[in-house]
């Protein structure tokens, strides 16, 4: 069962949020052992709607995990949040968790969701028990070649120049299929077909969410990785042409309590097949 809810915030914005799993619907659902079940907040990639994806729901259900997710501002029916940074996700997630009666949880973010998952851990340390990221971009820096290994870095290069430049780039931007490996396309045609379908649905909401994500990634995030005290699992495809391996390696050296699973044959999408194993790892951290 998946419940959809518009969470209304104190600043007047709305976040389109989803609750799924044995306890969907609130703290009193799911029976007397509801409070013992792990809650995972899923942070979607860029661009998506925030609706939960089938493989995530299936892996969670097999483990008795309850999944919350939401659309970041300007995605999937959520209100815009002009000038947002990566850190702003923490207060939004806190509001979503509160709306569903959830206090403590773990977070998992794929691709563009990774930085936002880390933001929650840094800024909600009493609520986040563990973090897993898959193919996550690292904070913008000149300490290594941040763009090195990206097949098509044009959008992020424009984002470094600010929102106006990123908007101009969006007017002519086209998807480069060479960003993906054959394994990535196979994943999109198979296990992760719901991801591709969700990306298509996200187009109906415009490009503002993606633009805001890119500008946030290429700007100061609003927190330091050193503030993430929860255990972190970084999962990275060695052959990723969207977010190269150097990003995961950089974050591994800056996070106080992190480990890296490098997937030698994976790209940006095929690496998501590790989601069930990453959930098992999070279960261990939350015990």
Residue 36 predicted with pLDDT over 70: no
- Counting every residue written for the chain, the total comes to 287
Q: pLDDT tens digit string along 158-214?
A: 999 999 999 999 999 999 999 999 999 999 999 999 999 999 999 999 999 999 999
Q: Please say whether the beta carbons of 60 and 26 come within 8 A.
A: no
Residue with tokens 């661009």: 47
Question: Of 26 and 243, which is predicted with more confidence?
Answer: 243
**Fold classification of 2-286 (topology level):** Rossmann fold (3.40.50)
Q: Please say whether the beta carbons of 136 and 252 come within 8 A.
A: no
The pLDDT of residue 243 is 98
Provide the whole-model pTM.
0.95
What is the DSSP secondary-structure string of the chain? -EEEEEEEPTTS-EEEEEEESTTTTSTT-S-TTGGGS-EEEEE--SS---PPPHHHHHHHHHTT-EEEEEPPTTSTTPPP-TT--GGGHHHHHHHHHHHTT--SEEEEEETTHHHHHHHHHHH-TTTEEEEEEESPPPPP-SSS-TTTT-S--HHHHHHHT-HHHHHHHHTT----GGGS-HHHHHHHHTTTHHHHHHHHHHGGG-SHHHHHHHHHHTS--SS-GGG--S-EEEEEETT-SSS-HHHHHHHHTTSTTEEEEEETT--TTGGGGGHHHHHHHHHHHH-
C-alpha 43: how far from chain center: 3
- Beta-bridged to residue 108, according to DSSP, are 42, 132
Residue 94 predicted with pLDDT over 70: yes
The pLDDT of residue 287 is 85
Q: Residue 33 contacts by C-beta under 8 Å, 6 or more apart in sequence?
A: none
Q: pLDDT tens digit string along 231-256?
A: 999 999 999 999 999 999 999 999 99
Q: Residue 272 contacts by C-beta under 8 Å, 6 or more apart in sequence?
A: 55, 110, 134, 135, 187, 191, 192, 195
> Span 15-26, mean pLDDT?
78
d(CA 100, CA 163): 33
Q: Kindly tell me the sign of the dihedral angle through the C-alpha atoms of 272, 183, 153, 244.
A: positive
Residue 26 predicted with pLDDT over 90: no
End-to-end CA distance of the chain: 25
């Amino acid at each position: 069962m998946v419940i959809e809810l518009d969470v209304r915030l104190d600043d007047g914005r709305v976040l389109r949020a989803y609750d799924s799993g044995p306890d969907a619907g609130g703290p009193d659902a799911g029976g007397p052992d509801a409070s013992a079940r792990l809650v995972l907040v899923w942070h979607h990639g860029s661009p998506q709607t925030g609706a939960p994806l089938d493989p995530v729901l299936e892996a969670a259900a097999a483990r008795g995990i309850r999944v919350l997710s939401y659309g970041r501002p300007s995605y999937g029916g959520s209100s815009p949040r002009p000038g947002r940074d990566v850190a702003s996700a923490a207060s939004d997630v806190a509001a979503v968790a509160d709306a569903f009666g959830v206090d403590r949880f773990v977070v998992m973010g794929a691709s563009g969701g990774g930085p936002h998952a880390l933001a929650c851990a840094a800024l909600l340390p009493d609520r986040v028990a563990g973090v897993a990221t898959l193919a996550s971009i690292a904070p913008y820096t000149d300490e290594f070649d941040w763009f090195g290994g990206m097949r098509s870095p044009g959008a992020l290069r424009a984002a470094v120049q600010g929102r106006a430049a990123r908007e101009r780039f969006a007017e002519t931007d086209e998807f480069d299929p060479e960003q993906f490996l054959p394994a990535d396309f196979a994943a999109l045609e198979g296990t992760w077909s719901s991801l591709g379908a969700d990306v298509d649905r996200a187009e109906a909401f415009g490009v503002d969410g993606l633009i805001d994500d890119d500008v946030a990634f290429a700007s100061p995030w609003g927190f330091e990785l050193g503030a993430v005290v929860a255990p972190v699992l970084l999962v990275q495809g060695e052959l990723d042409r969207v977010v190269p391996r150097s990003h995961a390696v950089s974050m591994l050296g800056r996070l106080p309590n992190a480990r890296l699973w490098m997937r030698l044959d994976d790209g940006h999408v095929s690496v998501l097949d590790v989601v069930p194993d990453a959930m098992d790892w999070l279960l261990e951290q939350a015990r």
